[in-house]
Homo-oligomer: A and B are copies of this chain.
Protein backbone atom coordinates (compact mmCIF):
# COMPACT_ATOMS: atom_id res chain seq x y z
CA UNK A 1 0.00 0.00 0.00
CA UNK A 2 1.09 3.54 -0.65
CA UNK A 3 -0.54 5.77 1.90
CA UNK A 4 -0.80 9.48 1.20
CA UNK A 5 0.07 12.22 3.63
CA UNK A 6 -2.75 13.41 5.80
CA UNK A 7 -4.58 16.42 4.36
CA UNK A 8 -5.24 19.61 6.29
CA UNK A 9 -8.93 18.85 6.19
CA UNK A 10 -8.35 15.43 7.74
CA UNK A 11 -6.00 16.66 10.45
CA UNK A 12 -8.54 19.33 11.40
CA UNK A 13 -11.23 16.65 11.59
CA UNK A 14 -9.03 14.41 13.75
CA UNK A 15 -8.46 17.24 16.24
CA UNK A 16 -12.18 18.03 16.35
CA UNK A 17 -13.14 14.43 17.02
CA UNK A 18 -11.48 14.63 20.42
CA UNK A 19 -14.45 16.82 21.39
CA UNK A 20 -17.89 15.41 22.15
CA UNK A 21 -19.72 18.23 20.34
CA UNK A 22 -17.97 17.51 17.03
CA UNK A 23 -18.22 13.76 17.36
CA UNK A 24 -21.99 14.02 17.56
CA UNK A 25 -22.23 16.70 14.87
CA UNK A 26 -20.14 14.64 12.42
CA UNK A 27 -21.50 11.27 13.65
CA UNK A 28 -17.90 10.06 13.72
CA UNK A 29 -15.52 8.93 16.48
CA UNK A 30 -11.93 7.75 16.91
CA UNK A 31 -10.54 4.34 17.80
CA UNK A 32 -6.84 4.10 18.66
CA UNK A 33 -4.29 1.35 19.06
CA UNK A 34 -3.30 -1.82 17.26
CA UNK A 35 -5.66 -4.30 18.86
CA UNK A 36 -8.65 -1.96 19.02
CA UNK A 37 -8.36 -0.92 15.37
CA UNK A 38 -7.92 -4.53 14.24
CA UNK A 39 -11.03 -5.42 16.21
CA UNK A 40 -13.12 -2.68 14.66
CA UNK A 41 -12.02 -3.66 11.15
CA UNK A 42 -13.31 -7.19 11.69
CA UNK A 43 -16.38 -5.96 13.58
CA UNK A 44 -19.51 -5.72 11.49
CA UNK A 45 -21.28 -3.33 13.89
CA UNK A 46 -18.97 -0.40 13.15
CA UNK A 47 -17.91 1.04 9.78
CA UNK A 48 -14.37 2.35 9.47
CA UNK A 49 -14.14 5.55 7.42
CA UNK A 50 -10.36 6.07 7.34
CA UNK A 51 -7.11 4.77 8.82
CA UNK A 52 -4.16 6.88 10.01
CA UNK A 53 -0.60 5.85 10.83
CA UNK A 54 2.45 7.50 12.35
CA UNK A 55 4.79 7.51 9.34
CA UNK A 56 7.97 7.24 11.41
CA UNK A 57 6.95 3.93 12.92
CA UNK A 58 6.62 2.33 9.46
CA UNK A 59 3.77 0.56 11.14
CA UNK A 60 1.47 0.78 8.14
CA UNK A 61 3.84 -1.51 6.23
CA UNK A 62 2.60 -4.41 8.34
CA UNK A 63 0.66 -6.73 6.05
CA UNK A 64 -2.10 -7.08 8.62
CA UNK A 65 -3.39 -3.72 7.40
CA UNK A 66 -3.31 -4.60 3.72
CA UNK A 67 -6.87 -5.83 3.39
CA UNK A 68 -8.40 -2.94 5.31
CA UNK A 69 -6.35 -0.52 3.27
CA UNK A 70 -8.06 -1.67 0.09
CA UNK A 71 -11.42 -0.65 1.48
CA UNK A 72 -10.81 2.65 3.25
CA UNK A 73 -8.59 5.70 2.87
CA UNK A 74 -5.18 5.35 4.51
CA UNK A 75 -3.02 8.33 5.43
CA UNK A 76 0.23 8.84 7.28
CA UNK A 77 1.28 11.77 9.44
CA UNK A 78 4.40 12.76 11.31
CA UNK A 79 4.98 11.83 14.94
CA UNK A 80 4.25 15.31 16.31
CA UNK A 81 0.86 15.51 14.63
CA UNK A 82 0.04 11.95 15.65
CA UNK A 83 0.82 12.75 19.28
CA UNK A 84 -1.38 15.85 19.03
CA UNK A 85 -4.47 14.09 17.71
CA UNK A 86 -3.94 11.02 19.92
CA UNK A 87 -5.72 10.78 23.24
CA UNK A 88 -3.08 8.50 24.79
CA UNK A 89 0.22 9.27 26.49
CA UNK A 90 2.02 6.61 24.47
CA UNK A 91 0.38 6.50 21.04
CA UNK A 92 0.73 3.16 19.26
CA UNK A 93 0.83 4.81 15.86
CA UNK A 94 -2.51 3.71 14.42
CA UNK A 95 -5.98 5.20 14.65
CA UNK A 96 -9.26 4.94 12.78
CA UNK A 97 -12.12 7.33 12.11
CA UNK A 98 -15.32 5.32 12.53
CA UNK A 99 -18.98 5.97 11.88
CA UNK A 100 -21.07 6.32 15.01
CA UNK A 101 -23.84 3.70 15.07
CA UNK A 102 -27.38 5.10 15.06
CA UNK A 103 -29.24 5.35 18.33
CA UNK A 104 -32.01 2.89 19.01
CA UNK A 105 -35.54 4.17 19.80
CA UNK A 106 -37.65 3.92 22.92
CA UNK A 107 -40.34 2.15 20.87
CA UNK A 108 -37.90 -0.53 19.84
CA UNK A 109 -36.66 -1.03 23.40
CA UNK A 110 -40.24 -1.13 24.77
CA UNK A 111 -41.06 -4.14 22.62
CA UNK A 112 -38.09 -6.22 23.77
CA UNK A 113 -37.05 -8.28 26.79
CA UNK A 114 -33.78 -8.77 28.64
CA UNK A 115 -31.71 -6.27 30.61
CA UNK A 116 -31.40 -2.54 29.96
CA UNK A 117 -28.78 -0.47 31.80
CA UNK A 118 -29.65 3.14 32.65
CA UNK A 119 -26.55 5.21 33.44
CA UNK A 120 -27.17 8.33 35.49
CA UNK A 121 -24.25 10.78 35.55
CA UNK A 122 -21.63 8.03 35.39
CA UNK A 123 -18.44 10.04 35.05
CA UNK A 124 -15.44 7.74 34.89
CA UNK A 125 -14.57 6.78 31.28
CA UNK A 126 -12.90 3.54 32.41
CA UNK A 127 -15.99 2.52 34.35
CA UNK A 128 -18.29 3.33 31.43
CA UNK A 129 -16.15 1.47 28.89
CA UNK A 130 -15.91 -1.55 31.17
CA UNK A 131 -19.70 -1.52 31.68
CA UNK A 132 -20.27 -1.47 27.89
CA UNK A 133 -17.81 -4.38 27.53
CA UNK A 134 -19.67 -6.40 30.19
CA UNK A 135 -23.08 -5.47 28.73
CA UNK A 136 -21.89 -6.75 25.36
CA UNK A 137 -20.65 -10.01 26.92
CA UNK A 138 -24.01 -10.65 28.57
CA UNK A 139 -26.00 -9.61 25.51
CA UNK A 140 -27.76 -6.68 27.21
CA UNK A 141 -30.78 -5.30 25.34
CA UNK A 142 -29.73 -1.66 25.57
CA UNK A 143 -27.91 1.13 27.36
CA UNK A 144 -29.68 4.37 28.28
CA UNK A 145 -27.34 7.27 28.90
CA UNK A 146 -28.62 10.17 30.98
CA UNK A 147 -27.45 13.71 31.62
CA UNK A 148 -23.95 13.95 33.06
CA UNK A 149 -22.84 10.51 31.84
CA UNK A 150 -19.56 10.63 29.94
CA UNK A 151 -19.96 10.34 26.16
CA UNK A 152 -20.12 6.70 25.02
CA UNK A 153 -17.79 7.61 22.12
CA UNK A 154 -15.16 9.40 24.22
CA UNK A 155 -11.75 7.92 23.24
CA UNK A 156 -11.02 6.67 26.77
CA UNK A 157 -14.43 5.00 26.94
CA UNK A 158 -13.92 3.41 23.52
CA UNK A 159 -10.54 2.04 24.64
CA UNK A 160 -12.00 0.52 27.80
CA UNK A 161 -14.77 -1.25 25.86
CA UNK A 162 -12.08 -3.47 24.26
CA UNK A 163 -13.98 -3.72 21.00
CA UNK A 164 -17.53 -3.65 22.35
CA UNK A 165 -18.31 -0.09 21.22
CA UNK A 166 -21.47 -0.12 19.11
CA UNK A 167 -22.39 -3.70 19.95
CA UNK A 168 -25.12 -2.79 22.45
CA UNK A 169 -28.03 -0.56 21.27
CA UNK A 170 -27.80 2.82 22.99
CA UNK A 171 -30.06 5.80 23.55
CA UNK A 172 -29.23 9.19 25.06
CA UNK A 173 -31.94 11.18 26.74
CA UNK A 174 -33.74 12.28 29.84
CA UNK A 175 -33.52 9.19 32.04
CA UNK A 176 -36.63 9.73 34.10
CA UNK A 177 -38.73 10.24 30.93
CA UNK A 178 -37.21 7.16 29.28
CA UNK A 179 -37.74 5.03 32.37
CA UNK A 180 -41.40 6.07 32.58
CA UNK A 181 -41.95 5.07 28.93
CA UNK A 182 -40.46 1.64 29.63
CA UNK A 183 -42.41 1.22 32.87
CA UNK A 184 -45.63 1.72 30.88
CA UNK A 185 -44.71 -1.45 29.00
CA UNK A 186 -44.07 -3.40 32.17
CA UNK A 187 -40.32 -2.99 32.58
CA UNK A 188 -39.41 -3.17 36.30
CA UNK A 189 -36.73 -0.69 37.38
CA UNK A 190 -34.01 -1.71 39.84
CA UNK A 191 -31.47 0.68 41.25
CA UNK A 192 -28.09 -0.30 42.65
CA UNK A 193 -27.79 0.97 46.18
CA UNK A 194 -25.43 0.38 49.08
CA UNK A 195 -27.99 1.06 51.81
CA UNK A 196 -29.00 -1.76 54.13
CA UNK A 197 -32.69 -1.13 53.47
CA UNK A 198 -32.36 -2.32 49.87
CA UNK A 199 -33.38 -5.79 48.68
CA UNK A 200 -30.57 -8.26 48.25
CA UNK A 201 -29.70 -8.85 44.57
CA UNK A 202 -29.66 -12.60 45.10
CA UNK A 203 -33.29 -12.51 46.35
CA UNK A 204 -34.72 -11.09 43.12
CA UNK A 205 -37.11 -13.63 41.60
CA UNK A 206 -36.98 -14.61 37.95
CA UNK A 207 -37.81 -11.80 35.53
CA UNK A 208 -38.20 -11.63 31.76
CA UNK A 209 -37.02 -8.05 31.59
CA UNK A 210 -35.42 -5.55 33.93
CA UNK A 211 -33.78 -2.13 33.97
CA UNK A 212 -30.73 -1.58 36.18
CA UNK A 213 -30.14 2.07 37.12
CA UNK A 214 -26.52 2.94 37.92
CA UNK A 215 -25.86 6.21 39.74
CA UNK A 216 -22.89 8.52 39.85
CA UNK A 217 -19.76 7.03 41.45
CA UNK A 218 -19.73 9.51 44.35
CA UNK A 219 -23.19 11.03 44.58
CA UNK A 220 -25.68 8.28 43.68
CA UNK A 221 -28.71 9.12 41.54
CA UNK A 222 -29.86 12.63 40.67
CA UNK A 223 -32.90 14.31 42.17
CA UNK A 224 -35.23 13.96 39.18
CA UNK A 225 -34.84 10.17 39.17
CA UNK A 226 -35.97 9.89 42.75
CA UNK A 227 -39.58 10.41 41.59
CA UNK A 228 -39.44 7.27 39.43
CA UNK A 229 -40.88 4.22 41.25
CA UNK A 230 -38.05 1.74 41.54
CA UNK A 231 -36.76 -1.12 43.65
CA UNK A 232 -33.47 -0.56 45.40
CA UNK A 233 -31.18 -3.58 45.19
CA UNK A 234 -27.95 -4.25 46.99
CA UNK A 235 -25.06 -6.61 46.54
CA UNK A 236 -24.93 -7.73 50.14
CA UNK A 237 -21.59 -8.66 51.72
CA UNK A 238 -21.68 -12.00 53.57
CA UNK A 239 -19.94 -10.72 56.71
CA UNK A 240 -20.99 -8.09 59.22
CA UNK A 241 -17.98 -5.82 59.31
CA UNK A 242 -17.16 -4.39 55.92
CA UNK A 243 -14.24 -2.03 55.81
CA UNK A 244 -14.85 -0.64 52.36
CA UNK A 245 -17.84 1.67 51.80
CA UNK A 246 -19.01 0.30 48.48
CA UNK A 247 -18.11 -1.64 45.37
CA UNK A 248 -16.72 0.14 42.30
CA UNK A 249 -19.60 1.20 40.00
CA UNK A 250 -18.50 -1.00 37.09
CA UNK A 251 -18.08 -4.00 39.41
CA UNK A 252 -21.50 -3.56 41.02
CA UNK A 253 -23.17 -3.12 37.62
CA UNK A 254 -21.44 -6.20 36.22
CA UNK A 255 -22.40 -8.40 39.15
CA UNK A 256 -26.02 -7.22 38.83
CA UNK A 257 -25.93 -7.92 35.08
CA UNK A 258 -24.54 -11.40 35.72
CA UNK A 259 -27.14 -12.24 38.38
CA UNK A 260 -30.20 -10.78 36.61
CA UNK A 261 -29.17 -12.29 33.26
CA UNK A 262 -29.07 -15.67 34.99
CA UNK A 263 -32.61 -15.17 36.33
CA UNK A 264 -34.05 -14.27 32.92
CA UNK A 265 -37.02 -16.46 32.03
Contact partner of A163 (CB less than 8 A), chosen from B163, B243, B259, is B243
Closest chain B residue to A132 by CB distance? B244
Contact B244 A133, beta carbon cutoff 8 Å: yes
Which 6 pairs across A and B sit closest by C-beta, in order of nearness? A139-B239, A167-B243, A164-B244, A136-B244, A251-B254, A255-B258
Contact A139 B237, beta carbon cutoff 8 Å: yes
Contact B237 A162, beta carbon cutoff 8 Å: no
List CB contacts (< 8 Å) of A213-265 with chain B.
Answer: 235, 237-239, 242-248, 250-251, 254-255, 258-259, 261-262, 264
Report how far A254 CA is from B202 CA in the complex, Å: 15
Instruction: Please indicate the chain B residues that have their CB under 8 angstroms from the CB of A246 in the complex.
Output: 137, 162
Instruction: Please indicate the chain B residues that have their CB under 8 angstroms from the CB of A235 in the complex.
Output: 137, 258
In this assembly, does A45 line the interface, its C-beta being within 8 Å of a C-beta of chain B? yes
Contact A245 B163, beta carbon cutoff 8 Å: yes
Contact partner of A244 (CB less than 8 A), chosen from B137, B238, B244, B247, is B137
In this assembly, does A126 line the interface, its C-beta being within 8 Å of a C-beta of chain B? yes
Q: Nearest-CB distance from A48 to chain B (Å)?
A: 15
Report how far A257 CA is from B96 CA in the complex, Å: 37
Q: Can you sample 29 A-B contacts with CB below 8 Å?
A: A45-B243, A130-B248, A130-B250, A133-B244, A133-B247, A133-B251, A134-B247, A134-B251, A136-B242, A136-B244, A137-B242, A139-B237, A139-B239, A139-B242, A160-B248, A162-B244, A162-B246, A162-B248, A164-B243, A167-B243, A167-B244, A202-B262, A238-B264, A250-B250, A250-B251, A254-B255, A255-B258, A258-B258, A258-B259
Instruction: Please indicate the chain B residues that have their CB under 8 angstroms from the CB of A43 in the complex.
Output: 243
Instruction: Please indicate the chain B residues that have their CB under 8 angstroms from the CB of A45 in the complex.
Output: 243
In this assembly, does A138 line the interface, its C-beta being within 8 Å of a C-beta of chain B? yes
Instruction: Please indicate the chain B residues that have their CB under 8 angstroms from the CB of A261 in the complex.
Output: 238
Closest chain B residue to A253 by CB distance? B251
Report how far A43 CA is from B262 CA in the complex, Å: 36
Known: A139-B238, A164-B243. 18 other contacts (CB 8 A): A134-B251, A136-B243, A136-B244, A137-B235, A137-B246, A137-B247, A138-B237, A138-B238, A161-B244, A163-B243, A163-B244, A238-B261, A238-B264, A251-B254, A254-B254, A254-B255, A258-B258, A258-B259
